[in-house]
Chain A
Amino acid sequence: MKLQKILKAINGDSIFKAIAVSMASIIFIIMAGVLISLFIDSKMAIDRFGLDFITSNSWNPVTEEFGAASSIFGTLVSTLLAMLIAVPLSLIIALFLVELAPPIISKPVGSAIELLAAIPSIIYGMWGLFVFAPYMSEHVQPFLQSTFGEIPLIGALFSGPPIGIGMLSAGIILALMILPFVSSVMRDIFKMVPSVVKESAHGMGSTTWEVTRKVTMRYGIKGLVGASFLGLGRAIGETMAVTFVIGNRHGISASLFDPSNTIASTLANEFAEASEDIYMSSLIYLGLVLLVMTLIVQIAAQLWVRHINKQMGGGL
């Protein structure tokens, strides 16, 4: 009787749904698996260094002393630099595409900017190492040094030999890489602002910039923050482009010209050399720190976007 019932329940539909549910579950299982497996594999380093790992600045494979401070510092500073460049730039690009350019110009320009996102990260690395870094060291960095070098405090940011490879170049290249994502989301947000609202401001005699600043941006401010969050999430874990140009030196330095490292670049660079168990475990611990950082950013961004969607009733 029971068997018959079960057999009856098994038909094309229930099988199809079961497959769909299990494939959907796989996504969550993988995500949980990533967290758990990194946790297990970094157990040795966690036991040995504990949370001091995060604040310790030593990285010495010979004495087997490992700390993540310089990698975390580099990750945060390079991401901050990228955000400082990419967010305002994306904002004015989105403004250009939505409010200023006629469709005949804004369409191809918009597609061209989006193509920046299709270029693989390693290509940014090649270009950064062989083309951009030499250019920085010959032209941009000496200029920055002679302009700002004498100013107290700010001067320290631009001190040291202008070798091109370092934090500044990495930040600029990261900015280029997140630019298309941030600007395309910002463009969508500008488009979501009802034209009636904009037109009424225009009707009062506002200039385009006044409409943008006082109406469009205020209307979409939460969305703009969300767009920046998405860019942040991308920049924080970017590996190859940064590995090529950041110089991969452990150490914290005030100067943006100095070679530095990020969590991702340390992983990419040193994984092959890690023969000792504790070295490998420390690298995976480093990966775990990066994963937790990105999870925090991603979850915050998702909650934020969901909050806006509910408020604005539109898809983002």
Chain B
Amino acid sequence: MRPRPATGRKALDLFVRLLSSLGAMIGIFFLVWILGEVIQRGAAAINWDFFTQIPPAPGDAGGGVANAIVGTVFMTLIATVLGVPIGMMAGVYLSEYGRKTKFGEFIRFATNVMMGIPSIIVGLFIYAIMVAPMGYFSGWAGGVSLAIIMIPVVARTTEDMLTLVPNSLRESVLALGAPRWKMTIGVVFRAAKSGLITGSLLAVARVSGETAPLLFTALNNVFWPDNLSEPTSNLTVTIFNFAMSPYDDWNQLAWGASLLITFGVLIITILARVIFKEVKTR
């Protein structure tokens, strides 16, 4: 075989190397650009009133989004309280009972497919089964729609984390005569603790930035959420409404709310990763 000259091949190799470094830089460039704009424009809106006042009347200056912060926290809490236990138990089934069974395979498949269902469709579903029959938009419906988005995410991460626990640990607990449920909760859960916390935190981070499902369920409100059986204020829909409005002050508040939600979500995400990494390296 005649050897090919190396110059052309090396030049091509160098070109691809440069191109791929450029690709990575493009990714980082957009991350920095987006975060930079959010910080710069959002910081201008952040002050004491921002956290303590409700939005001003259209066209008026001042005010804040305190009601939306409260609403978002409430709905995320409802979603967590509903979604995490259901998702975890489903994950327990997938990992402890349904690892090789037909039904387990089927549920695993359904869970993966469900993770890919657009969140706006989940909103439509809750509108159809909760909002339309009850006759009003509500914070409860918003919380439930977020919970439905959480369930498959928590189920899959729980399964993954429990699968990492070695079987010898399970066997040794069962050999001591402990029932299976005690083994699962007392030992397997404990062994996978940090992974479970990470999975739940990531799910919380994901839903707290969701907007689309809330449009059809919680809607929005410019007043304090007195009870959750009425349209409930929340940060993301507030951003949407205020950004689309022609008033500069509302646009400004939308940027402030964007800063708040972005960093809330980023901090939870990074926290989750750090918890997981710490245990992995230990």
Contact = CB atoms under 8 A, between A and B. Distances in A.
A binds B: yes
Interface of A: 11-13, 15-17, 19-21, 23-28, 30-31, 33-34, 37-38, 40-41, 89, 92-93, 95-97, 100-101, 109, 111-113, 115-116, 118-127, 129-131, 176, 179-180, 183, 207-210, 212, 230, 233-234, 236-240, 243-244, 264, 267-268, 271-272, 284, 287, 290-291, 294-295, 297-299, 301-302
B31 A112 contact: yes
A27 B152 contact: yes
B40 to A, nearest CB: 10
B113 A123 contact: no
B128 A41 contact: yes
Interface of A is mostly: helix
Contacts of B19: 92
B98 A297 contact: no
Interface of B: 9-10, 12-13, 16-17, 19-24, 26-28, 30-31, 33-35, 37-38, 41, 85-87, 89-90, 92-94, 96-98, 103-104, 106-107, 109-114, 116-122, 124-125, 128-129, 132, 148, 151-152, 155, 179-182, 184, 205, 209-212, 215-216, 236, 239-240, 243, 251, 254-255, 258, 261-262, 265-266, 269, 273
B116 A287 contact: no
B116 A233 contact: yes
Which of A124, A239, A268, A284 has its CB near the most chain B CB atoms (within 10 A)? A239
A299 B109 CA distance: 8
A123 B13 contact: no
Contacts of B180: 13, 16-17
A33 B148 CA distance: 12
10 contacts: A23-B87, A118-B265, A120-B261, A131-B33, A237-B117, A239-B118, A240-B240, A267-B120, A284-B128, A290-B121
A20 B89 contact: yes
Given A23-B93, A118-B266, A126-B38, A207 B13 contact: yes
Nearest to A287: B124
B96 to A, nearest CB: 7
A121 B120 CA distance: 12
A20 B90 contact: yes
B98 to A, nearest CB: 7
A23 B90 contact: yes
Contacts of B26: 89
Contacts of A112: 27-28, 31
Given A93-B20, A120-B265, A271 B215 contact: yes
Contacts of A25: 107
A92 B132 CA distance: 48
B34 to A, nearest CB: 5
Contacts of B261: 120, 122-123
A118 B240 CA distance: 18
Nearest to A40: B128
Given A37-B125, A299-B113, A122 B236 contact: yes
B13 A208 contact: yes
B24 A97 contact: yes
A268 to B, nearest CB: 6
A41 B216 CA distance: 14
Nearest to A11: B179
Contacts of A97: 24
B16 A209 contact: yes
B103 to A, nearest CB: 8
Given A23-B90, A27-B90, A210 B9 contact: yes
A302 B211 contact: no
A242 B236 CA distance: 15
A93 B27 contact: yes
A24 B212 CA distance: 25
Contacts of A115: 31, 266, 269
Nearest to B115: A298
A57 to B, nearest CB: 22
Contacts of B117: 31, 34, 237, 291, 294-295, 298
B13 A20 contact: no
Given A20-B97, A115-B266, A237 B113 contact: no
Contacts of A239: 118-120, 211-212
A25 B110 CA distance: 10
A297 B112 CA distance: 12
A264 B155 contact: no
Given A26-B86, A37-B129, A122 B182 contact: no
Contacts of B122: 34
B118 A101 contact: no
Given A24-B98, A38-B128, A19 B121 contact: no
Given A28-B106, A100-B21, 20 more contacts: A12-B182, A24-B90, A24-B103, A30-B125, A31-B110, A38-B125, A89-B23, A92-B20, A115-B31, A120-B236, A180-B27, A207-B9, A209-B12, A233-B116, A240-B211, A264-B120, A287-B124, A299-B113, A302-B112, A302-B113
